[in-house]
């Protein structure tokens, strides 16, 4: 895999879906800088507080999101995209863009996750005032802070500013099942796994991703539903033979 | 609308609710020349202009994922409803869990229901006679069969005659042809066959041939969003406009019925509703009233309609209003099927729900008393190359190209079996009025009490074992033991097949209505939703709600002709 570095603090990810007027680089992804306004308001630290001896896990105090949702009767034809304010900073978005492209990089003509605006979707997601999204927000923001702590510890720099191979060196420790065995990586690996699934979901939902995964539906058919293709039936027959089954 | 000018006496019948039961009653009565006024608590709703048919999840907030505003996803047709309705709470007794789904919109839940439409069979109407549990219905399958024929023909149901003892045949020409089964369904079918369990085309209220001004399905868009072309049955594209075309139906939306009023003799003579827009209460004179507000909501209206002559609520001299509530049992069990990994792609949308399913196969064994539980269940099959959503299947690991490969290989290789089973009524499952809590319209709310019995738990245990056997026969591997029935069974109300709160029967002391949905206590008051069910067979209830509403309002029209009401 090529290790092209697309984004850094000098080259931030530019959010396109939001109506943000100015994108300002805020600096280090430390608790104070990256989460402005994080005073000692009600703590939402849903982060797993297990008794792990090894490793580190940031303890962020995140302000509660109490924006209103889209309600019980939104316009379904002209969908109210992000009816709540986006909350990620440029630094976090850039971070997520790097992360998303590690998860789903460009492959030939198939664009990468950031190219199909996955960071914008994630911004919408973690800023949403619903339960599942709020839980993800807490988990993901802790993961980002953890990655930054780890980059500082290992390479004395921000995660977004270390080299691509240094970024991967950290990711490699939490992206594989084997990582689960090392105590210090249990929490970040769990958060990584959830984040990864969501990044992939956003990617596969995009028009390019729909093609990439091979979904062929959502097109009207005139006449009867044709059923499985010949190729699909031949394959099924092979499966049946192998399992000793008959139709 | 001009409530001020509405006079209930101008109408032969007032129908409360516009869902499956209410719309069928209104249709039947207007077709037989009766003037009908329909009151609907929800807003007006037009599927022709409001249905997001072809939108992709990418276009929706949060990839269309469900949340507390839209439980079944952003594009689900339910508006102003769901498990929670703002300002309209319900409460639960201690230790009870119950979920109450309500759709406050014209057409009610028919705008987004699954459209599974299975006839009840002989067994289903006479459960008590077979095993001594619950109650028999006050008629036989053969009394209802002709009405099923008519309802199926009118609604438009696709499926086939199978000859299976759980699936009574329809007359030649009634059912429309079902769509071809898909690969995962065929694999389930082959595995089930090896275990001696038959599969069958699901019967669905989906047109595969055009009918009146409704078009045939084009096999592309999730029916839960609604169907603006009318192929998936909903009353807003069929029965309501058809009834309106007679010129005899008037509909008032945003009209929340609070209570039914009686004269000094205790006979129904009016009802009171709140106009949700002005928050004003209105009293309408009424000659005949049909409650079809959905089972628990109709029972709520009755219990809230207290008077000197009906101190325990209207039509409740038996004390049975709010009792005998049942839902279907529900469990989901599924697995990744290695043999389906990386299989050839094709368009697997079909009519976007089950083409095949597993009907109940155990009647013969139960006759011999060789099954550990009474009554049956069926399995609905979940599978397929679905539109990408906020969940990605697969045992994901790593990142980059190899990760994407895992996800692509796993796509379409998961098969889930959803059990839907019969529940028996029990004394721990009932609803009552919570005297301390009112909704935002000032109407006292419902308090639910719920507990599954051993019958349901044993049935679910059997279902879990069977599901696992079928999946294993398909090549699935399991590394965990089966979950316990009490942990796996879904909550009461969660399958959204609640029935029985105003059950019918042969005797005024044991039931709320007679076999025509006519309340024993008030001859001009009827219930035409699932409240009247005497039992809750595993087959989804709505086809039978509509069939009964058609039969019973035909009878009601005849009574009006004879001047009996
Ligand atoms: C997601 C989902 C899937 C389902 N799938 C299936 C399926 O596949 N097969 C099946 O058979 N069933 C299915 N069901 C169940 C089915 O929708 C219901 O059984 C059926 O719609 C009930 O019809 P009804 O007329 O009694 O009530 P509803 O359709 O709920 O209609 C009642 C109407 O009355 C109105 N109302 C309520 N209270 C008042 C009041 N006080 N005053 C005035 N109006 C009032 C409501 O606003 C509503 O419009 C499903 C339900 C859901 C939610
Ligand atoms: S799949 Fe067919 S029936 Fe269902 S909504 Fe689409 S067109 Fe209508």
Cα separation, B316 vs B310, whole angstroms: 7
pLDDT band at B28 (very low <50, low <70, confident <90, very high): very high
The larger pLDDT score, comparing residue A24 to residue B535, is at B535
DSSP state for residue A88 in the 8-state scheme: -
Number of domains in chain A: 1
How long, in residues, is chain B? 565
User: For strand B356-358 and strand B200-201, is the pairing parallel, antiparallel, or unpaired?
Assistant: antiparallel
pLDDT of residue B248: 98
Q: Are residues B343 and B236 in the same domain?
A: no
pLDDT of residue A81: 73
Cα separation, B457 vs B487, whole angstroms: 10
Cα separation, A240 vs B256, whole angstroms: 56
Q: Are residues B338 and B468 in the same domain?
A: yes
Neighbours of B435 (CB within 10 A): 9
| Residues B108, B297 contacting (CB under 8 angstroms) | no
Q: Are residues B338 and B402 in the same domain?
A: yes
pLDDT of residue A5: 78
pLDDT of residue B1: 44
Q: Both tokens of residue B416?
A: 């889930």
pLDDT digit string, tens, across residues A32-44: 333 333 322 333 4
pLDDT of residue B7: 86
| Residues B320, A224 contacting (CB under 8 angstroms) | no
| B18 in contact with ligand 1, CB cutoff 6 A | yes
Residue of B102, B108, B225, B292 to mutate, ligand 1, most atoms within 8 A of C-beta: B108
DSSP state for residue B285 in the 8-state scheme: E
State mean pLDDT over B234-263: 98
Mean of all residue pLDDT scores within chain B: 97
**Could you say which of B441, B467, B488 is where a domain stops?**
B488
pLDDT digit string, tens, across residues B93-150: 999 999 999 999 999 999 999 999 999 999 999 999 999 999 999 999 999 999 999 9
State mean pLDDT over B322-337: 98
pLDDT of residue A6: 85
| Residue A63 included in any domain | no
CA atoms within 13 A on the CB side of B386: 20
Cα separation, A200 vs A184, whole angstroms: 25
A residues 65-104 closer than 8 Å to B (CB): 69-74, 76-77, 79-83, 102-104
pLDDT of residue B2: 46
pLDDT of residue A44: 41
| Residue A147 included in any domain | yes
pLDDT digit string, tens, across residues B179-197: 999 999 999 999 999 999 9
The backbone torsions φ and ψ at residue B250, rounded to the nearest 5 degrees and listed phi first, read: -115, 135
pLDDT at B526 over 60: yes
pLDDT of residue A42: 34
Number of domains in chain B: 2
How long, in residues, is chain A? 247
| B498 in contact with ligand 1, CB cutoff 6 A | no
Cα separation, B182 vs B356, whole angstroms: 8
Q: Are residues B246 and B347 in the same domain?
A: no
**Could you say which of B488, B515, B536 is where a domain stops?**
B488
| Residues B398, A103 contacting (CB under 8 angstroms) | no
The set of residues, in sequence order, having a beta carbon less than 8 Å from that of B225 and lying 6+ positions away, is A76, B51, B52, B53, B75, B76, B77, B112
pLDDT digit string, tens, across residues B265-298: 999 999 999 999 999 999 999 999 999 999 999 9
| Residue B180 included in any domain | yes
Q: Are residues B269 and B195 in the same domain?
A: no
| Residue A91 included in any domain | yes
Q: Are residues B123 and B184 in the same domain?
A: no
| Residues B200, B356 contacting (CB under 8 angstroms) | yes
Task: Report CB contact under 8 Å: B400, A1.
Answer: yes
Helices A186-205 and A131-155: crossing angle in degrees, nearest 10, is 120
The CATH number linked to B296 is: 3.50.50.60
Q: Which domain holds residue A111?
A: 19-27+84-216
pLDDT of residue A24: 36
| Residues B271, B3 contacting (CB under 8 angstroms) | no
| Residue A116 included in any domain | yes
pLDDT at B483 over 90: yes
pLDDT at B458 over 60: yes
Ligand 1 centroid – CA B239 distance (Å): 15
| Residue B213 included in any domain | no
B residues 220-259 closer than 8 Å to A (CB): 220-221, 225
| Residue A173 included in any domain | yes
| Residues B539, B124 contacting (CB under 8 angstroms) | yes
Is the backbone of residue B93 left (phi > 0), alpha (psi -120 to 50) or beta? beta
SS3 for B407? Answer: helix
| Residue A101 included in any domain | yes
Q: Are residues B256 and B175 in the same domain?
A: no
pLDDT of residue B192: 98
pLDDT of residue B3: 47
Task: Give the pocket of ligand 2 (CB within 6 Å).
Answer: B 206, 217-221, 223, 227, 229, 231-232, 351-352
A residues 176-195 closer than 8 Å to B (CB): 176-177, 193
Chain B touched by A11 (CB under 8 Å): no
Nearest CA-CA partner of B456 in B504, B482, B491 = B491
| Residue B245 included in any domain | yes
| Residue A139 included in any domain | yes
| Residues B299, B322 contacting (CB under 8 angstroms) | yes
Q: Which domain holds residue B476?
A: 163-201+330-421+453-488
| Residue B260 included in any domain | yes
Q: Both tokens of residue B326?
A: 């049942």
* Triad B453, B454, B456: Cα angle to 5°: 75
B residues 16-55 closer than 8 Å to A (CB): 43, 49-52, 54-55
Give the H or E element holding residue B552.
Answer: helix B542-561
- The sign one gets for the Cα dihedral B312, B313, B318, B323 is negative
Task: Report CB contact under 8 Å: A215, B340.
Answer: no
Q: How many angstroms separate the first and last alpha carbons of chain B?
A: 29
* Triad B90, B93, B99: Cα angle to 5°: 45
Q: Are residues B262 and B246 in the same domain?
A: yes
CA distance A208 to chain B (A): 11
pLDDT of residue B527: 98
The set of residues, in sequence order, having a beta carbon less than 8 Å from that of B55 and lying 6+ positions away, is A76, A77, A79, B75
B259 forms bridges with which residues in the sheet?
Answer: B272
Chain A touched by B406 (CB under 8 Å): no
Nearest CA-CA partner of B207 in A225, A202, A128 = A225
Nearest CA-CA partner of A72 in B47, B74, B100 = B74
Q: Are residues B362 and B246 in the same domain?
A: no
| B16 in contact with ligand 1, CB cutoff 6 A | yes
Cα separation, B327 vs B499, whole angstroms: 6
pLDDT of residue A179: 62
Q: Are residues B344 and B312 in the same domain?
A: no
Cα separation, B322 vs B537, whole angstroms: 19
Q: Write out residues in chain A with pLDDT < 50, as ranges.
A: 17-51
Specify the residue for token string 């608790």.
A31
The set of residues, in sequence order, having a beta carbon less than 8 Å from that of A192 and lying 6+ positions away, is A143, A171, A174, A175
pLDDT of residue A182: 83
pLDDT digit string, tens, across residues B60-73: 999 999 999 999 99
pLDDT of residue A183: 87
Is the backbone of residue B285 left (phi > 0), alpha (psi -120 to 50) or beta? beta
Q: Are residues B305 and B284 in the same domain?
A: yes
Q: Give the ipTM of the model, two decimals please.
A: 0.94
pLDDT of residue A80: 83
Q: Are residues B235 and B364 in the same domain?
A: no
Cα separation, A118 vs B449, whole angstroms: 45
pLDDT digit string, tens, across residues A69-106: 999 999 999 988 778 999 999 999 999 999 999 999 99
Nearest-Å Rg of the Cα atoms of chain B is: 23
| Residues B124, B131 contacting (CB under 8 angstroms) | no
| B499 in contact with ligand 1, CB cutoff 6 A | no
């Amino acid at each position: 895999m090529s290790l092209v570095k697309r984004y850094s603090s000098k080259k931030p990810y530019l959010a396109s879906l939001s109506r943000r007027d100015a994108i300002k680089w805020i600096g280090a992804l430390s608790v104070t800088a990256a989460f402005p306004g994080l005073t000692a308001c009600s703590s939402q630290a849903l982060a797993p507080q297990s008794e792990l001896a090894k490793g580190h896990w940031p303890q962020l105090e995140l302000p509660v999101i109490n924006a209103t949702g889209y309600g019980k009767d939104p316009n379904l034809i002209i969908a109210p995209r992000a009816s709540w304010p986006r909350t990620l900073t440029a630094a976090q978005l850039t971070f997520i863009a790097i992360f998303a492209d590690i998860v789903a990089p460009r492959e030939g003509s198939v664009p990468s996750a950031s190219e199909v605006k996955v960071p914008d979707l994630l911004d919408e997601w973690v800023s949403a005032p619903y339960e599942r999204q709020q839980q993800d927000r807490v988990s993901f923001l802790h993961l980002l802070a953890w990655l930054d702590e780890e980059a500082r510890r290992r390479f004395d720099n921000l995660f977004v500013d270390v080299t691509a191979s240094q970024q991967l060196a950290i990711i490699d420790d939490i992206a594989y099942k084997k990582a689960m065995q090392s105590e210090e990586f249990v929490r970040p690996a769990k958060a990584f796994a959830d984040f990864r699934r969501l990044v992939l979901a956003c990617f596969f939902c995009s028009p390019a991703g729909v093609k990439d995964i091979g979904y062929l539906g959502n097109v009207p058919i005139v006449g009867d539903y044709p059923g499985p293709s010949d190729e699909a039936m031949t394959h099924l027959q092979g499966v049946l033979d192998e399992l000793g089954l008959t139709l | 609308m001009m409530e001020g000018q509405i006079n209930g006496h101008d109408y032969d019948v007032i129908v409360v609710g516009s869902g499956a039961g209410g719309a069928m009653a209104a249709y039947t009565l207007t077709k037989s020349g009766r003037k009908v006024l329909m009151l609907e608590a929800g807003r007006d709703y037009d599927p022709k202009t409001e249905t997001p048919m072809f939108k992709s999840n990418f276009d929706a907030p949060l990839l269309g994922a469900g949340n507390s505003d839209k439980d079944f996803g952003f594009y689900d047709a339910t508006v102003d409803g769901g498990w929670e309705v703002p300002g309209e709470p319900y409460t639960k007794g201690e230790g009870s869990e119950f979920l109450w789904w309500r759709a406050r919109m014209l057409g009610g839940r028919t705008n987004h229901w699954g459209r599974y439409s299975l006839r009840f069979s002989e067994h289903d109407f006479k459960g008590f006679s077979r095993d001594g549990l619950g109650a028999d219905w006050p008629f036989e399958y053969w009394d209802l069969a002709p009405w099923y024929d008519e309802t199926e023909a009118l609604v438009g149901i696709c499926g086939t005659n199978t000859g299976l003892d759980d699936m009574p045949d329809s007359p030649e020409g009634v059912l429309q042809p079902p769509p071809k089964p898909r690969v995962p369904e065929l694999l389930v079918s082959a595995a089930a066959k090896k275990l001696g369990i038959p599969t069958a085309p699901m019967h669905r209220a989906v047109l595969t041939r055009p009918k009146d001004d409704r078009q045939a399905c084009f096999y592309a868009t999730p029916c839960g969003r609604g169907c603006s072309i009318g192929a998936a049955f909903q009353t807003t594209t069929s029965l309501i406009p058809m009834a309106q075309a007679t010129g005899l139906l008037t509909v008032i939306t945003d009209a929340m019925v609070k209570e039914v009023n009686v004269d000094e003799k205790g006979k129904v003579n009016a009802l009171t509703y709140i106009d949700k827009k002005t928050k004003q209460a209105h009293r309408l004179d009424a000659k005949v009233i049909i409650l079809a507000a959905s089972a628990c909501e109709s029972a709520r209206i009755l219990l809230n309609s207290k008077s000197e002559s009906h101190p325990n609520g209207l039509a409740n001299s038996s004390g049975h209003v709010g009792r005998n509530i049942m839902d279907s049992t529900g469990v989901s069990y599924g697995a990744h099927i290695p043999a389906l990994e990386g299989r050839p792609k094709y368009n697997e949308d079909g009519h976007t729900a089950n083409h095949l399913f597993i009907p109940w196969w155990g009647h013969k064994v139960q006759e011999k008393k060789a099954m550990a539980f009474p009554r049956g269940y069926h399995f609905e099959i979940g599978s397929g190359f679905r539109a990408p959503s906020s969940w990605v299947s697969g045992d994901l690991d790593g990142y980059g190209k190899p990760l994407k490969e895992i996800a692509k290989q796993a796509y379409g290789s998961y098969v889930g079996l959803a059990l839907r089973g019969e529940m028996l009524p029990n004394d721990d499952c009932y609803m009552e009025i919570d005297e301390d809590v009112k909704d935002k319209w000032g109407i006292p709310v419902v308090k639910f009490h719920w507990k599954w019995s051993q019958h349901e738990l044993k049935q679910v245990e059997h279902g879990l074992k069977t599901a696992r056997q079928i999946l294993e026969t398909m090549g699935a591997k399991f590394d965990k033991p089966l979950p316990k029935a009490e942990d796996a069974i879904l909550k009461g109300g969660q399958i959204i097949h609640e029935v029985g709160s105003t059950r019918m029967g042969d005797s005024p002391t044991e039931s709320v209505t007679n076999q025509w949905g006519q309340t024993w206590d008030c001859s001009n008051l009827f219930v035409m939703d699932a409240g009247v069910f005497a039992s809750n067979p595993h087959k989804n209830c709505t086809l039978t709600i509509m069939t009964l509403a058609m039969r019973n309002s035909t009878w009601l029209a005849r009574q009006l002709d004879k001047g009996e009401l």
